[in-house]
Amino acid sequence: MAYVLPPQAFLNVELHQDVRKLLLETARLEWAEFLDDAFDGVFAPALLLRAVKGKARPEHKMTVVSGRGVHRIGQARFAQNDLTQFNLGCTDGGTGHPGEDEKGAGSHVFAGAAQSSR
């Protein structure tokens, strides 16, 4: 098991696409928590990811924790996204693009809004 503490930009910035692909190919994403401004002097909102070595089954769903609550999302959907974006803010029924559905909101919507559940 590994814990990764990237900036939230990791979810959708093109520069991180290769790392996202590697994670999808080699790990089962178990948990993501939006930490926002958890560190003094750091101006990039943070994210906590928990991954387990080994390919995820197609039906695998990960848990996402944010200031909007807790939900589950299928990991397989990320491989189909433009730039392999991890649109953690959406549900499996939504697109994750703001304005396109009620439940789904792009991951950037959580910036500044999430609270740690610990």
Reported as a single tens digit per residue, the pLDDT across 22-81 is: 999 999 999 999 998 878 888 889 999 999 999 999 999 999 999 889 999 999 999 999
- Phi and psi at residue 94, to the nearest 5°: -110, 170
- Phi and psi at residue 73, to the nearest 5°: -140, 140
Report pTM. Answer: 0.73
Q: Are 12 and 107 in contact (CB under 8 A)?
A: yes
For residue 58, give every residue at least 6 positions away whose Cβ sits within 8 Å of its Cβ, in sequence order, or none.
76
